Amino acid sequence: MDQERGSFSKMGFILAAAGSAVGLGNLWRFPFTVGENGGGVFVLMYLLSIIIIAIPVLLAEASLGRHTNKNPIGAFAMVKPGSSWPLVGLLGIICAFMILSFYAVIAGWTVAYFVKAVTGQFTNIGPEQAVASFGSFTSNSWLQLVLLAVFIVITVVVVSGGVAGGIEKCSKILMPVLLGILILLLIRSLTLKGAYEGVMFYLKPDFSKFSFKVVIAAIGQAFFSMSLGMGTMITYGSYVSKKDSLPSSCGWIAFFDTFIALMAGFIIFPAIFSQGMNPDQGSGVMFNVLPVLFSKMPGGSIFGSFFFLLLSIAALTSTISILEVPVSYLIDERKWKRKKASVLIGSIAFIIGICSALSNGGSSFFSNLPVFNIGFLDLWNMIWGNVALSVGALLEAIFVAYVWKTHKAVKEIKVGAQKFTLVKPWSFLIKYIVPVFIILILIGYFI
């Protein structure tokens, strides 16, 4: 295989793809989106979206990637030369810039909270203090810019060195340790006084809160969390060996990712309700409530330090996978060197990211945009994280089902898989359910 591209070893795909999937999407984005969309009813829609939409799309992306051995643009061009389908890949590459730009801001917050935990700032703090300290932290413009820069530089350094080896090793250690800490947090949160109310908010659907906005948020969250809709899994699929089984790998990835998101909810909501905090408080939820939770745990500073360190690493394995999409394109199609490509794209993402970094108090303009009346980061998260990923996944599904054709995709999926018993359900979902649902939801949302 091409030196500049690299490839995964056996198990490497599961580890790297799980590393891509598990990140801030699970621990930061999922809980605050649940909070903003009425709790249980959103969770129900989210689980449905995972099963009938996201998993089929994951398999479609991974098989297209492995079949073509290419970046997203190259993959579309190879299956349908001379068409305008590669534009879908281009949309994905634009998405990568945009998502990286705000994702790295939040990743910077996790690094800063790691430092806060290590320096013992999570002792004896109540909800008001936590909220106030978060507010003054995010309105410190210089600090926000430095944190963003630091995170992007680290991502660029790792991607410059080639993806395969590093992430695999990282994920192997990261996942079990992260899981261990999450279990401890879960126990602490569920045993707080008043935890039950949070569990009810989280699990009991209140159908009066149902709306198109809830459904699009749920589908968007499913795509975001599993790194779908912009070609990450096409790119990672392109590094997978023909000996690996795609269906079982994809099943494991979906399982891990969903499991961790669900755990995050069981940690955040009981803690929020027991502290009398508001579940619908936007993107700061996790940073407001976890310090309080840690300060109520014996050894809280130690667990807090570990937690934010691991979350920073989980975020890193995700930013790597986002940056890898445009980088693999420049390497394959433009014959750039890996290093040059990573540095250029990282720099552009930093510049766009400035708007998000200043949008939580740093700049009053970016914190409350005219017309939209929300902050830049929230707007970007909605446009690129929900709408653009949904459009991308829709076009990918149509491409795989009707241009590449399901029977050819199935042939690719079966390579390396002992058996793929779900041929019929998968074909049905990718041909009809995925496109029809996404189209209906998008239309409903915009009307």
For residue 239, which of 5, 50, 4, 3 has the smallest C-alpha distance?
5
Those residues with Cβ within 8 angstroms of residue 333's Cβ, 6 or more apart along the chain or in another chain: 71, 73, 74
Asked if 224 is part of the footprint of ligand TRP (rule: CB under 6 A), the reply reads yes
Scanning 23-31, 51-59, 65-73, 114-122 for contacts with ligand TRP by CB under 6 A, the matching segment is: 23-31
Nearer to ligand TRP, 99 or 272 (CB): 99
Q: What angle do CA 364, 368, 374 make, to 5 degrees?
A: 155
Q: How far apart are CA 223 and CA 146, in angstroms?
A: 29
Q: Is 99 in the site for ligand TRP (CB under 6 A)?
A: yes
Quote the CA–CA distance of 180 and 363 in Å, as a whole number: 38
248 exposure class (CB count in 10 Å sphere: 0-12, 13-18, 19+): middle
d(CA 167, CA 311): 15
CB atoms within 10 A of CB 187: 12
Is 23 a binding residue for ligand TRP by CB under 6 A? The answer is: yes
Q: Residue 168: CB partners within 8 Å, gap ≥ 6? A: 8, 9, 11, 12, 15, 16
How much of the chain is helix, strand and coil, in % rounded to 5? 80, 0, 20
- 39/42 Cα distance (integer angstroms): 6
- Applying CB under 6 A, among 21, 105, 271, 413 the residue interacting with ligand TRP is 21
User: How far is it, in rounded angstroms, from Cα 308 to Cα 323?
Assistant: 22
**Residue span binding ligand TRP (CB under 6 A) among the ranges 19-27, 195-203, 291-299, 424-432:** 19-27
Our finding on whether 225 is near ligand TRP (CB under 6 A) is yes
DSSP for 407-423?
A: HHHHHHHHTT-S--TTH
Cβ proximity to ligand TRP, 122 vs 329, nearer residue: 329
| Rounded CA separation 55/207 (Å) | 25
Shortest spacing between CB 16 and ligand TRP, in angstroms:
11
Sign of CA dihedral 109, 255, 216, 329: positive
Q: CB 249 → ligand TRP: shortest distance, Å?
A: 16
CB of 223 to ligand TRP, least distance (A): 6
Give whichever of 34 and 292 is closer to ligand TRP, judged by the CB atom: 34
**How many whole angstroms separate alpha carbon 232 and alpha carbon 58?**
10
Binding span for ligand TRP by CB under 6 A among 16-24, 31-39, 46-54, 64-72 = 16-24
Does position 264 interact with ligand TRP (CB under 6 A)? The reply is no
User: Which of 23, 435 has the CB closer to ligand TRP?
Assistant: 23
Nearest to residue 165, comparing CAs of 1, 6, 327? Answer: 6
Q: Residue 155 CB, nearest distance to ligand TRP (Å)?
A: 11
* Of the residues 171, 221, 227, 359, which one makes contact with ligand TRP according to CB under 6 A: 227
Interface residue with ligand TRP among 33, 101, 283, 318 (CB under 6 A) is: 318
Q: Using the rule CB under 6 A, give the single segment among 34-42, 116-124, 224-232, 411-419 that binds ligand TRP.
A: 224-232
| Region of 7-15, 24-32, 52-60, 369-377 interacting with ligand TRP (CB under 6 A) | 24-32
Of 305 and 321, which has the nearer Cβ to ligand TRP?
321
Q: Is 321 in the site for ligand TRP (CB under 6 A)?
A: yes
Of 20, 275, 328, 381, which one interacts with ligand TRP (CB under 6 A)?
Answer: 20
Phi-psi region of 415 (alpha: psi -120 to 50; beta: other; left: phi over 0): beta
Footprint on residues 334-393 left by ligand TRP (CB under 6 A): 389
Q: Which of these ranges, 21-29, 236-244, 304-312, 337-345, lies near ligand TRP under the rule CB under 6 A? A: 21-29
Residues at the site binding ligand TRP, with contacts judged by CB under 6 A:
20-21, 23-26, 99, 224-225, 227, 230, 232, 318, 321-322, 389
